[in-house]
Chain A
Amino acid sequence: MTTRRNLTKAAVAVVLTMMTAQVTHAQTPAEFYKGKNVTLIVSAAPGGGADLYARAFIKYFSKYLPGKPNVVISNLPGAGGLTAAAQLQNSEARDGTVVAMLQRNNLYLPLVSDDNIGFDPRKVSWLGSLNKETYALATWQNAPVKKIDDLFAKALTIGATSFNNENRTFPAIINQFLGGKMDIVAGYKGNDEIALAMERGEVQGRFLTVTSLLSGNDASWLKDGKINVIAQMGVERNPAIPNVPLILDYVKDQKAKELFEFMFLPLQTGRPFAAPPEVPADRLEALRKAFVDAASDPEFKAELTKQNATVELVDGKQAEAIVKTLYATPAETIKSVKALLKPQ
């Protein structure tokens, strides 16, 4: 059975390669894309932040792709983006008509998961990312933790969504390696449900992206002094909150530092885009260039500003380098990450 399936797969691959190879020599990317539909798979449900980025982006992506193909969105949420990632790598067309907007956990989860996920971030071609992300810890005004030193001395109840989410793993490593005293209550559905729980006093704080912190209700809470921002998490300081202490500065132990860096590095690709493996080189080049041009378009940036979102371009080469760094992490660090993510 397996052999037969493999044979079929091989046959499919041969036929596919022959077809694409033929076409490649015959057409320039502009000729190829003209009049075609390019599908952008969005690994999140319609209506959320990621989806909005994508829906605003496609107009400009289409504008800068040679031949100006029509770019259409297809939402494929599931398994934290891994459903879309696996489908992109294994079964989508490899002729350059399909790309996907994945999620940053997709860059490292396959590395630390024992399950057969069907996705390897080294196998797909990265186009880049639309922004970089930083995390912040915000506490409600009456919480005992008001500044970073309190974090290591006083108890704090924080809300989280799920076990593998950054809003649970980040406080967990701070507890484990820096002596934090946070009680992490996971199981809330979404960021806004934690915000509500905080407002009504069920929890005292939460970890959230700086993008969320500086938009929406948190922005006005911050202005009115209703929340305190205790610390920021990322490999580098976010220029938008320059005075908030960087957690990485408090990590002295070298081994711990490697773990923190491993956990924070994927934040550098906040909204990562990828193409399937084996896309013809000239078309991949065209996709990457169009990605950079579209993300740099002032009109696109203005549109996102209106939606309280920002653009910080990370190009395909940089995204690839991040994956490479992650996969070069020492085995010992990987082991501690696995322990961190092991079901309790």
Chain B
Amino acid sequence: MDASTAMGMLTAAGDALLIILDPMRFAILCLAALLGVILGIIPGIGGLAGTALLLPFTFAMDPYTAFAFLLGLSATTSTGDPIPAILFGVPGGASSAATVLDGLPMARRGEAGRALSAAYMSSLMGGLFGAALLGLAVPILRPVMLFIGTPEMLAISILGLSMVAALSSSAPLRGLAAASIGIMISMIGSEPRTGAFRWTFGNLYLWEGIPLVPITLGLFALPELCDMAIARQKLKPDQKFDVNLGIWQGAKDCFQHWWLIMRCSWIGTALGAIPGIGGSVVDWVAYAHAARSVKGGQKTFGTGDVRGVIASESANNAKEGGSLITTIAFGIPGTAGMAIILGAFLSQGLVPGPDMLSKNLSVTYSMVWSIALANIVGAGLCYAFSGQFAKIATLRYTLVLPMVASIIFIGAFEGSRQWGDLIALLTFGTIGWTMKRLRWPRAPLILGVVLGDTIERQLFISIRLYGADWLLHPIVAVILCIALYGILRPMIQSILKSRRKGGSGLRFARPQFALTDLFSIVLLLVLGYLLILTIGWPYTTLLVPRIVTLTAMAAVGLSLFNSVFTRGALAAEPEEGDVEEEKALYMDSVGDDAHLTNRQIRDRAAAFLGWMLAFLLSMATIGIVPTILWFVIAYMRIEGRERWTLVLPMAFGLAAFVYVVFDQLLMIPWPRTFAGMLFPALQFIPSLR
């Protein structure tokens, strides 16, 4: 690049900053940031519905203002995301799920302020870094992207999937099984290459696969709520730490770990730029990377290590800059949110591609500035309300649970706006809770769901185009070696360790069965049934699903064998070191109900499921708004005997909130209800259609 081009770029960047700082535009940017943070806090909604709704308003704006508005909104939703993740264990968006693992234990310890502050500050730094990287990369965007073909994308996807090894290090077989099952879930639906339908059971809902939102909320949010109901206590026993001190500490943590933030921001930006991966797994990949690379991470991650929060959130915000790269340079949206931004391009008459990097360079730079400024404004807003947010963590479960549960149902329904979403939510909620209880890692499953069909798709394209030669592309070879190393390293380490000890590794004893083995047995049966269903599929359609199903069955089978035959040995002579290590390595949130009997846990879990089913039935009969009304009242009165002066304002307040925000503003098309169909006269009641 010669000097004059460089000068041209700098001038364009400077001009763009002045354009964005125009008072009217900046005011709109701030408004967008405020909306973004609020939408981010609401679990599952993740800004998508809001952005789609606000898109037409940008038709009348000039391009700079339009993008400031839309990008301001989408960039700050990920700043708001960690708030419910830390306070309730309910990720605000799919890409905040990893924040739960360390954020929630911190809040339970009384360090909500510190965790929140660390989340905002790392979001801010990650967001700024992502924007800076985008800004610097502008001149080389297209040449670099043209160099990266389908095989290279495939290698990066495989690298992402290899993180499964790091996310399940204490239970590699179960991690492998979960990842394989995740891939199987991603295969559900119509298969693009051959048009065959895989595991759709003749159901239209399954044609395009199960959307990610109900899966994530089911796997991570519902189990936390259920355990909240089982433990029956407020989230944080008491305010052990001063909130303001915690906030100060959280910010300090970020500056201390700036190098970690840089690395995770790179991960976020790079993965955000890969269409298909698009941000839904960046948090896990960054988390896995951090757990492995920081000092003592393998022992403390999952127990409330602030570095876990920092890793996940910095990557989460950095992805926005990354996903804008392919959108600007080629018109290929990295995420669903970017697809809407792309709509704004079209409506403004702008064409993504070379023009954006030459003729419309100032528009491109205004986008970079919009993301950067929105991150600052968003983090500022969050800090302003931090004290209040931290207090929410001290509320009783009877106050929090009915509200969060109601919102989760709406969030899941946003997946594809069909009943199937809600059924998927409850199904994955049950699976997620069982996995959490039986200590099966849940993150590998999400990685499998997100990356599974992308990998299959890219694999077949690569093979069609290059045969086996795709493996020899230099970038591909390097990335695959890194992935292989990541998978093999834990294995090599454990082998070396057992050598040093001179132990014989596994010790077998007489088989002992436990009730928990039932889960593995049921899983094996289901997997076997799904395997049988693949009979009759076209060859290229069944190849990957069959391999993955067999892998899952082998992993589940071996894990079952392992626990049945080593249970006796472990009980007979507990190896202190091993047991201790196994506990520390388990990377998932751990409940706090050790004082309860199994029977109590079972009864309370069943009661929780009952409440959820009642909610769904009632929603199908009389609509969601009336359902929320009685649900909040009933739950608070029956479970907690809360006083009426508290119950009624809460119930009516939440119902009114849902009515105004979701029914009137976002205009979510509720499903039709039995009552609405039988008695059309009742349709004046909100959401009763």
- A183 / chain B contacts, CB cutoff of 8 Å: 464
The reply to whether A83 and B55 contact each other, CB–CB distance below 8 Å, is no
Question: Which one of A195-203, A231-239, A241-249, A318-326 is at the interface?
Answer: A195-203
Question: Which one of B162-170, B570-578, B589-597, B678-686 is at the interface?
Answer: B678-686
Contact with B along A67-90 (1 / 0, CB 8 A): 000001111111110110010000
B333 at the interface (CB under 8 A from A): yes
Q: Report, as a range, how many residues of chain B touch the other chain.
A: 35 or more
The reply to whether A190 and B332 contact each other, CB–CB distance below 8 Å, is yes
The reply to whether B339 and A48 contact each other, CB–CB distance below 8 Å, is yes
- B51 / chain A contacts, CB cutoff of 8 Å: 46
* Most central of B56, B195, B336, B668 by chain A CB within 10 Å: B195
The reply to whether B146 and A199 contact each other, CB–CB distance below 8 Å, is yes
- A86 / chain B contacts, CB cutoff of 8 Å: 204
Contact with A along B38-62 (1 / 0, CB 8 A): 0000000000100110011001000
A253 at the interface (CB under 8 A from B): no
Question: Which one of B1-9, B345-353, B433-441 is at the interface?
Answer: B345-353
Assuming the A-B contacts A72-B667, A308-B349, are A47 and B340 also in contact, with contact meaning beta carbons closer than 8 angstroms in the complex? yes
- A83 / chain B contacts, CB cutoff of 8 Å: 204-205, 207, 416, 418
Contact with B along A156-170 (1 / 0, CB 8 A): 010001111000000
A3 at the interface (CB under 8 A from B): no
B219 CB, min distance to chain A CBs, angstroms:
22
The reply to whether B192 and A186 contact each other, CB–CB distance below 8 Å, is yes
A56 at the interface (CB under 8 A from B): yes
**Minimal Cβ-Cβ distance residue in A for B689:** A93
The reply to whether B347 and A52 contact each other, CB–CB distance below 8 Å, is yes
The reply to whether A47 and B52 contact each other, CB–CB distance below 8 Å, is yes
B341 at the interface (CB under 8 A from A): yes
Binding site for A on B (CB under 8 A): 48, 51-52, 55-56, 59, 145-147, 149-150, 190-197, 202, 204-205, 207-208, 275-276, 330-333, 336, 339-344, 346-347, 349, 351-355, 416-418, 457-458, 460-461, 464-465, 537-538, 541, 667-669, 672, 677-681, 689
Number of A-B contacts (CB under 8 A): 177
Contact of B669 among A46, A74, A217 (CB under 8 A): A74
Question: Which one of A112-120, A130-138, A174-182 is at the interface?
Answer: A112-120
A52 CB, min distance to chain B CBs, angstroms:
6
CA distance A138 to B440 in the complex (A): 51
CA distance A147 to B541 in the complex (A): 35
- A19 / chain B contacts, CB cutoff of 8 Å: 680-681
**Minimal Cβ-Cβ distance residue in B for A42:** B52
Assuming the A-B contacts A16-B680, A79-B207, are A341 and B195 also in contact, with contact meaning beta carbons closer than 8 angstroms in the complex? yes
CA distance A78 to B206 in the complex (A): 9
The reply to whether A52 and B680 contact each other, CB–CB distance below 8 Å, is no
Number of residues in A with C-beta < 8 Å to the partner?
A: 69
23 intermolecular pairs with C-beta atoms under 8 Å apart:
A12-B677, A15-B680, A47-B333, A47-B343, A52-B346, A74-B417, A74-B669, A78-B204, A78-B416, A82-B207, A116-B202, A118-B204, A163-B191, A163-B192, A164-B195, A187-B192, A189-B275, A190-B332, A195-B330, A202-B149, A217-B351, A341-B195, A343-B191
**Minimal Cβ-Cβ distance residue in B for A19:** B680
CA distance A185 to B540 in the complex (A): 13
The reply to whether B207 and A78 contact each other, CB–CB distance below 8 Å, is yes
B194 CB, min distance to chain A CBs, angstroms:
5
The reply to whether A193 and B332 contact each other, CB–CB distance below 8 Å, is yes
* Most central of A164, A195, A202 by chain B CB within 10 Å: A202
Dominant SS among interface residues on chain A:
mixed
- B340 / chain A contacts, CB cutoff of 8 Å: 46-47
- B52 / chain A contacts, CB cutoff of 8 Å: 46-47, 51, 75
CA distance A192 to B457 in the complex (A): 16
The reply to whether A200 and B149 contact each other, CB–CB distance below 8 Å, is yes
B174 CB, min distance to chain A CBs, angstroms:
31
- B354 / chain A contacts, CB cutoff of 8 Å: 217, 220
- A303 / chain B contacts, CB cutoff of 8 Å: 59
Q: Which of A191-223 contact B (CB under 8 A)?
A: 192-193, 195-197, 199-200, 202-203, 215-217, 219-220
A55 at the interface (CB under 8 A from B): yes
A195 CB, min distance to chain B CBs, angstroms:
7
B394 CB, min distance to chain A CBs, angstroms:
38
Assuming the A-B contacts A187-B461, A200-B149, A343-B538, are A307 and B347 also in contact, with contact meaning beta carbons closer than 8 angstroms in the complex? yes
CA distance A78 to B205 in the complex (A): 8
- A193 / chain B contacts, CB cutoff of 8 Å: 275, 332
**Minimal Cβ-Cβ distance residue in A for B146:** A200
* Most central of B51, B145, B347, B679 by chain A CB within 10 Å: B347
A6 at the interface (CB under 8 A from B): no
A154 CB, min distance to chain B CBs, angstroms:
18
* Most central of B146, B351, B689 by chain A CB within 10 Å: B351
**Minimal Cβ-Cβ distance residue in B for A72:** B667
Contact of B465 among A117, A157, A215 (CB under 8 A): A157
The reply to whether B208 and A78 contact each other, CB–CB distance below 8 Å, is yes
The reply to whether A196 and B204 contact each other, CB–CB distance below 8 Å, is no
The reply to whether A196 and B145 contact each other, CB–CB distance below 8 Å, is yes
CA distance A199 to B344 in the complex (A): 24
- A186 / chain B contacts, CB cutoff of 8 Å: 192-193
B455 CB, min distance to chain A CBs, angstroms:
11
The reply to whether A74 and B346 contact each other, CB–CB distance below 8 Å, is no
Contact with B along A87-101 (1 / 0, CB 8 A): 000011100000000
The reply to whether A45 and B330 contact each other, CB–CB distance below 8 Å, is no
CA distance A45 to B461 in the complex (A): 25
A49 at the interface (CB under 8 A from B): yes
Contact of B55 among A55, A117, A199 (CB under 8 A): A55
CA distance A41 to B667 in the complex (A): 12
Q: Which of A1-44 contact B (CB under 8 A)?
A: 11-12, 15-16, 19, 39, 41
The reply to whether B347 and A77 contact each other, CB–CB distance below 8 Å, is no
A252 at the interface (CB under 8 A from B): no
* Most central of A118, A196, A219, A306 by chain B CB within 10 Å: A196
The reply to whether A79 and B204 contact each other, CB–CB distance below 8 Å, is yes
- B668 / chain A contacts, CB cutoff of 8 Å: 74
The reply to whether A202 and B417 contact each other, CB–CB distance below 8 Å, is no
CA distance A86 to B510 in the complex (A): 57
- A254 / chain B contacts, CB cutoff of 8 Å: none
CA distance A19 to B676 in the complex (A): 12
A335 CB, min distance to chain B CBs, angstroms:
17
Q: Top 5 A-B pairs ranked by shortest CB distance? A: A163-B195, A47-B343, A46-B52, A343-B196, A162-B192
CA distance A75 to B341 in the complex (A): 16
- A73 / chain B contacts, CB cutoff of 8 Å: 667
- A185 / chain B contacts, CB cutoff of 8 Å: 461, 464-465
Contact of B342 among A12, A47, A117 (CB under 8 A): A47
Assuming the A-B contacts A48-B339, A55-B56, are A307 and B678 also in contact, with contact meaning beta carbons closer than 8 angstroms in the complex? no
Supplied contacts A82-B207, A216-B331, A220-B354, 14 more A-B pairs, CB within 8 Å: A16-B680, A47-B341, A47-B342, A72-B667, A73-B667, A75-B417, A77-B208, A91-B672, A186-B193, A202-B149, A216-B352, A217-B354, A343-B537, A343-B541
A135 CB, min distance to chain B CBs, angstroms:
19
A140 CB, min distance to chain B CBs, angstroms:
13
A344 CB, min distance to chain B CBs, angstroms:
5
- B343 / chain A contacts, CB cutoff of 8 Å: 46-48, 51-52
- B346 / chain A contacts, CB cutoff of 8 Å: 49, 52, 307-308
- B276 / chain A contacts, CB cutoff of 8 Å: 189
The reply to whether B55 and A216 contact each other, CB–CB distance below 8 Å, is no
**Minimal Cβ-Cβ distance residue in B for A93:** B689
- B193 / chain A contacts, CB cutoff of 8 Å: 162-163, 186-187
Contact with B along A280-322 (1 / 0, CB 8 A): 0000000000000000000000010011100000000000000
Contact of A12 among B48, B202, B208, B678 (CB under 8 A): B678
CA distance A12 to B190 in the complex (A): 34
- A188 / chain B contacts, CB cutoff of 8 Å: 461
CA distance A75 to B251 in the complex (A): 40
A143 CB, min distance to chain B CBs, angstroms:
15
**Minimal Cβ-Cβ distance residue in B for A73:** B667
- B331 / chain A contacts, CB cutoff of 8 Å: 192, 195, 216-217
